[in-house]
Every structure is written in C-alpha cells, then in structure tokens.
Structure 1
C-alpha cells in the first residue's frame, strides 16, 4: 500500500477538486440560471484535471522513483490513479447531485425540453444520477489513462546516449 500513497493522496485531492468545481458551477449559476452554458464551461474542468495528473506524476517521479521514472512506470502510476478516481467518482456524483445541486437534473431536463433539444424520455434517460455515476466512472478511467500516458511521455526520464 505504501507504494501507492502518492496515487491515493492525489485521488482524494482530485475528488475534492471535482466537488469544489461543482460548488463553483452551482455558485455562478451554471446549474440553473445559466444552464444553457453548462455544457461549454463544465469542459473547462480539463485544465485543472490535467494539472492534477501532471503534479501527481511529477511527485511520483521525484519522491518515489528518486527523479528517474520510465514511461512505463509513469503510465502504470497514471492507470492506478485513474482506477482509484473511477472508483470514487460515483460517490462524488452522489454528493454533487443529492447535496450540492439536487435540482440539476430537473433544470437541465426542463431546459432541453423547452428548446426542443430532446424528448422527455431521452432527457430522463440521459440526465439522471445513475447515468452520471456510470459515465463519470468510465470517463475518469478512459480519460485518465490517456492523460496519464501523455504526461508519462513528457515526464519520463530521457536516457542519455553516450
């Protein structure tokens, strides 16, 4: 377990970031008043998410691998981080949509219907807690693995050819 302390620490930080981001979105009105902009601005989460992956892998390289990390070591660390985040994302989604913004799904469904973007049946199928929990887990896993691979490539220690 000690081998994964950095990944566990950054997983907890990442989940706290997700919760803070949701609070920020709610506070500025993206979950109700400005819901028409939600789809655009929620994608900005990629910026802090990338930063967190970079910092996590950099810390792994510096403190666990003593400054020398191969691509595969970084990639495995990224996979572990992604897996741990994917495990905790349903809990984060539950907290977000039951405590932080309990009317989000009603608001987004109403918006989609009002503007004829979806039928009621399709909107209810897509915008609900179960769907968001599943989507967030699989999204965290797939996007996290890709992000981990990208940053592992850039953070890896390059071998000096004599």
Structure 2
C-alpha cells in the first residue's frame, strides 16, 4: 500500500476536482438554463484533469523515485490513479446526480427531445444514472490511460548515470 500512497492521494484529489467542476458547471447554468452550452464548455475540465496527472507524476518522480523515473514507471503510476478514479466513479456519479445536480437528467432529456436530437424513449434510456455510471467508468479508463501515456512522456527523466556521462 505504501508504494501507491501517492497515487491514492492524487486519485482522491482528482475525484474532488471533478465534483467541484460539476458544482461549477451547475452554478454556471450549464445544467439548466444554459444547457445548450454544456457540451462545448464541459471539455474545459480537461485542463485541470491533465494538470492533476502532471503534478501527480512529478510528485511520484520526486518523492518515490528520487527524481529519476522511466516512462514505464510514470505510465504505471498514472494507470494506478486511473484505476482508482474509475473504481470511485460510481460513487462520484451518484453524488453528482443525487446531490449536486439532481435535475440534470430531466433537463437534458427535455432539451434533447425539444431540439429533435433524440426521441423521448432514446433520451430516457441514455440520460439516466445507470447509463452515466457506466459511461463515467469507461470514460475514466479511456481518458486516464491516454492522459497517463502522454504525461508520462513529459515527466519521465533520464537516469542520473546518463545525465552525468552526457556532461
């Protein structure tokens, strides 16, 4: 457990950030009166999401690997964060849907039906807690793996030995 303590810390910070982001979206009206803006603006959550992975891998490199971390080690640390976030995603989605924005499903169903994007039946089968729990877990895995792969390239370091010999 000690070897993934850093990943647990950053996964929890990631979940807190996501819940804060959803509360921010709700406060901006993106879940009700400005619902039309939601799809294009919610992508901005990628900025703090990537930043958390970046700082998490720097933390892991600095405080676990003594400043030297390979791509593989960085990717694996990111993968552990991803697995924890994905495992917590049902709780996160439940908290979001029940406590932070309980009218979101009703609002998005009404919006997609009114705009002709979906039939009521299709909207109701897509926009519900069970569906969103599955999508949030899958999304956490897909985006977390991709983010881990990219951030590990940026954060990896050369070994101290190769740094000394190259000078």
Under TM normalisation by the shorter chain, which class is it?
Answer: over 0.9
Partner in structure 1 of residue 46 of structure 2: 46
The normalised TM-score by structure 1 is 0.97
Partner in structure 1 of residue 81 of structure 2: 81
Partner in structure 2 of residue 19 of structure 1: 19
1:104-142 C-alpha deviation (Å, 9 max, x unpaired) = 000000000111111111111111111111111111111
Partner in structure 2 of residue 61 of structure 1: 61
Partner in structure 1 of residue 134 of structure 2: 134
Shift of 1:87: 0.3
Q: Which runs of 4+ in 1 moved over 2 A?
A: 158-162
Structure 2 alignment gaps of length 5 or more: none
Matches within 5 A, 1:90-101: 90-101=90-101
Partner in structure 2 of residue 121 of structure 1: 121
Structure 1 alignment gaps of length 5 or more: none
RMSD of aligned alpha carbons: 1.0
The CA distance in 2 between the partners of 1:62 and 1:10, in whole Å, is 14
The CA distance in 1 between the partners of 2:138 and 2:157, in whole Å, is 30
Larger radius of gyration: 2
What is the aligned residue count? Answer: 162
The CA distance in 2 between the partners of 1:139 and 1:158, in whole Å, is 32
1:37-72 C-alpha deviation (Å, 9 max, x unpaired) = 111111111110000000000100000001000000
